[in-house]
Amino acid sequence: MYQTRKIIAIFWVLFCVTTTCFGWVNLSSAQVSGTIASDPKKNPRSTFRTLTDSQKPQAFEIKKIQSPSSLPKKTILTPKAVEEKKNQMPSTRMGNAPSSKSRSNPSGFRLGPRDLIEISVWGNENLIAEMPIRPDGLVSFPLIGDIKAAGLTPNELREKIAVKLERFINGPNVSVVVKEINSDMVRISMGGEVNEPGSYEVHTPATLLHAISTAKGYTIEADLKKAYLLRRGKKVRIDFFALIEGSDLTQNVFLQNNDLIYFPPNFENRVNIIGEVNKPQVIKFQEGMTVLDAVLMAEGLTETAKPTASKIYRKITLGSGQKTISNLKVELDKVIFEGDLSKNISLKPGDIILIPRSFF
């Protein structure tokens, strides 16, 4: 009996020890995985012991996984939203595309007399014509006759022709093409002492200097102080000398159609040397010119020249305002052969130098 109880007691102790050790093994597994089953039905041994927060291993922290509701939301763009966002975007540096109106007439060009245009109607081979706009601003086109074109843009003329053709053609498709632009030109005339006198057509805006360069400039015989611009039969007050010699650009006026620019010959701003010189000629006067300068420009005296009798004829104005001609004696022999420069008389515009012939 005693032996039987002893055996039962030993089995009971072994049972308790085994059960306790098994429970600790499960608790250790739960600590390592970071989770503890709280449902006694699923884990009956969990009722033996629970771990507090301070007893959880620090090397294995439990991290919370974000739920879909806690994730940042992304904007889903529908086609409508894309279009609205595009309209809200600021314009780029290049600017918005031009309208059809600005593209059809970007420079604001308007037709004028002498412009060459071509008018055609699509699908109608007989309704095509190339013509210049007449001086009265009209053009003629089949079926509609004369129509005003000057002052209109090509598109305005096209629409005007299309309206008139609707009486004859259903929905006419009219085209107006500018072949040549001649209405921005003015006709000017250059006369007198210019290198290439004649009439010229120049594009506007054209200035006085532009016209002079078109005629290849003026000759040395031109009188700048008496040059003038004739406009509609009246002289325009312009100082050509100040413009050309003094670079006064306030005198560089804009030209108008049919302007006439005239450079008269300068008879007063010249010196004539005649008689016994190798090359008698007209010399353009320059400030400081002397009688010796004129002789040298005429290539010197001939063998029959008589320098002691040389004379200068000069126009002078008396105190009364009356004009007369004075006779100045020139001791040209002392200037040339003796080098006496005190006898080298200074010349004035309009002087005539006469070197007579010696008969002995």
Global pTM? 0.44
Q: Tokens 């353009």 map to which residue?
A: 284
| CATH tag, 270-355 | 3.10.560.10
Q: How far apart are CA 271 and CA 293, in angstroms?
A: 11
Topology (CATH level 3) of domain 116-180: wza like fold (3.30.1950)
Q: How far apart are CA 281 and CA 330, in angstroms?
A: 19
Report, as an integer, the average pLDDT of 3-10.
69
Which tens digits make up the pLDDT trace of 136-159? Answer: 999 999 998 999 998 899 999 999
Question: What mean pLDDT, rounded, does the chain reach?
Answer: 76
Q: What is the pLDDT of residue 2?
A: 56
Which tens digits make up the pLDDT trace of 37-49? Answer: 444 444 444 444 4
Report, as an integer, the average pLDDT of 29-57.
44
Q: What is 134-179 written as a DSSP string? A: PTTSEEEETTTEEEE-TTS-HHHHHHHHHHHHTTTSSS--EEEEEE
Higher pLDDT, 104 or 318: 318
- How far, in Å, are 73, 127, 348 from residue 79 at the CA level? 19, 49, 93
Cβ atoms within 10 Å of 29's Cβ, excluding its own = 11
Which stretches within 184-302 are classed as H helix?
A: 208-214, 240-244, 291-297
**Burial classification of residue 346, based on how many CB atoms lie within 10 Å of its CB (0-12 exposed, 13-18 middle, 19 or more buried):** exposed
Which tens digits make up the pLDDT trace of 274-308? Answer: 999 999 998 888 888 999 999 999 999 999 999 99
**Same CATH fold, 185-263 and 116-180?**
no
Q: Tokens 């009486």 map to which residue?
A: 167
Report, as an integer, the average pLDDT of 31-40.
43
If you average pLDDT over each of 20-24, 32-36, 218-222, 304-308, which comes out highest? 304-308
Distance of CA 136 to the CA centre of its chain: 33
CA dihedral 27, 29, 30, 31 (to 10 degrees): 90
Higher pLDDT, 328 or 202: 328
For the ranges 45-49, 170-174, 307-311, the lowest mean pLDDT is seen at 45-49
Q: Are strands 185-192 and 259-263 parallel, antiparallel or unpaired?
A: parallel
Q: What is the pLDDT of residue 29?
A: 46
Assess whether pLDDT exceeds 60 at residue 84. no
Q: What is the pLDDT of residue 21?
A: 52
Q: Is 185-263 in CATH node 3.40.50.970? A: no
Please say whether the dihedral angle defined by the alpha carbons of residues 331, 337, 342 and 348, taken in this order, is positive or negative. Answer: positive
Widest Cα–Cα separation across the chain: 199
Of the pLDDT bands very low, low, confident and very high (cuts 50, 70, 90), residue 263 is: very high
Domain ranges of the chain: 2-54, 116-180, 185-263, 270-355
Assess whether pLDDT exceeds 90 at residue 55. no
Query: For residue 23, which amino acid is it?
Result: G
